[in-house]
A and B are shown apart, each in its own frame.
Chain A
Amino acid sequence: MCLGIPGEVLETHDGAGGMRYGTVRFGGASREVCLEFVPDAVVGDFVIVHVGLALSRISPEDAAEVFGYLEEMETLSDLGAEMGEATGGSGIAGPGGP
């Protein structure tokens, strides 16, 4: 559950059953996708598409989260290493740790 692939909305139009559809590009391949569940997605947005329907608009503001968290983890482990050297312990033990 499932293959949800990010694609760029190139244009939108009315489609079957009066629903909102769009042409969405995945890499170099474009397909018609039903946009009925992402009413706020506009041309230029990226959406996650599963079985021909868009389920979510990708928020560019959160896209870099993965890298921000990595840096946070690296900072913590640097701090931990320093603490470890100072106290002779190892790893990170936060409040309520093992």
Chain B
Amino acid sequence: MKYLDEYRDGGAAQRYAETLRALVTRPWTLMEVCGGQTHSIVRYGIDEMLPPGVTLVHGPGCPVCVTPVAALDRAFRLARRPEVIFTSFGDMLRVPGSRDDLLHVRAEGGDVRVVYSPLDAVAIAEREPGREVVFFAVGFETTAPANAMAVRLAARKGLRNFSLLVAQVRVPPALEAILAEPACRVQGFLAAGHVCAVMGTAEYEPLARRHGVPVVVTGFEPLDLLQGTAMALRQLEEGRCEVEIQYARVVRPEGNAAARRAIEEVFEVTDRGWRGLGDIPRSGLGLNARYAAFDAERRFPDAAPPSREDPECRAGLVLQGRLRPQECPAFGARCTPEHPLGAPMVSSEGACAAYWLYRRRAAAGRVA
């Protein structure tokens, strides 16, 4: 496939690995922000190609992982209503709330349907006027334009049976929160390529400057990740802390204005809680007053019983890059994909899930 296969070339990957070995003169710790990047790194073994001393820690860029337990519990309560068709991306189906997950709710009779696009949820609402269609709008800024478009489309069609359960989050405040932790070891970031395709790079300039960290907007294929790493390491070796774009074929510094206009039309910045990280001010998006009618939280009043997080789950530390999955005492013991304590073990891009699928036996000391 064009614009995909060429960035998976093994020969070029090896050559990049060698240039990195020649480049680095001391240990460095980088964080790749996006869960999709984590998945790719572990799937293709990129971190094993890096010179010793260069550590990649996995960041909080897994919207599935950071959706608060309270939001999940709310989703389950909605999905159990007989009049509701609860639509969601596939990623969310196995994520545990206080108890249960959407798969269990479906097994108990909830009408839970996987959709590929929020626009498909709108189509379902149009086809089923007698039911209430709720879409679980999780995601970072990459997904916000699509979620906004779905609301606009529903409004344009005059649909009264469509609403969003919003759990949208923004990246820059999360990175600030991570950098503010005294125990933070991160010295540079591989920023999320598709988030920046929408938002551009402006938001990252103050972060780079204030904290003295290089930020390289990076893609998702092996060569993208290796080039992004090379650019970040070069900045560190040269004592620079700038925002650069590795993923130039997709990302422009100004981002995608049309997509941002859609976000601004429908959403506003709100405070949000992050599973494992706690409340981060102004770190989320919610429906604004103009589109409040499409907010499932307003449409379905809900007496929220308290949510609980499993106290043994250390997802927060994993999401901040302060704990590797295999270092968690629960990894493979109390916490497995079949019986997860938290989200990163069952998200397709969760660090714990990635280690479980690709590294577990290596972690146990066997040759991979």
Contact = CB atoms under 8 A, between A and B. Distances in A.
B249 A70 contact: no
Interface in B237-269: 237-240, 246, 248-252, 256, 258-259, 262
Given A50-B143, A92-B237, A98-B25, A34 B15 contact: no
A30 interface: no
A6 interface: yes
A36 B192 CA distance: 22
Contacts, number: 173
A62 B248 contact: yes
Interface in B33-73: 34-36, 61-63
A53 B145 CA distance: 9
Interface string B157-169: 1000000000000
Interface residues of A, number: 51
Contacts of A59: 248-250
B79 to A, nearest CB: 20
Given A17-B156, A58-B250, A96-B238, A67 B259 contact: no
A36 B15 contact: no
B23 to A, nearest CB: 6
A97 B123 CA distance: 57
B interface, over-half SS: helix
Query: Which of A16, A18, A27 neighbours the largest number of chain B CB atoms within 10 Å of its CB?
Result: A16
B357 interface: no
Contacts of A62: 248-249
Contacts of A76: 19, 22-23
Interface residues of B, number: 68
A34 B154 CA distance: 15
Given A4-B250, A55-B194, A77-B22, A95 B238 contact: yes
A39 B276 CA distance: 39
A70 B143 contact: no
Contacts of A86: none
Contact of A56 (B7, B116, B220, B251): B251
Contact of B25 (A26, A36, A58, A93): A93
Contacts of A67: 12
Nearest to B33: A1
A6 B2 contact: yes
Contacts of B250: 4, 48, 56, 58-59
A73 interface: yes
Nearest to A59: B249
B145 A37 contact: yes
Nearest to A15: B119
Given A1-B143, A73-B19, A51 B118 contact: yes
Contacts of B142: 1-2, 4, 50, 55
A52 B61 contact: no
Interface of A: 1-6, 8, 16-19, 26-27, 34, 36-39, 46, 48, 50-53, 55-56, 58-60, 62-63, 65-67, 69-70, 73-74, 76-77, 80-81, 90-98
What are the 7 A-B residue pairs with the smallest beta carbon separation, nearest first? Answer: A52-B117, A96-B239, A77-B22, A6-B3, A73-B19, A94-B238, A62-B248
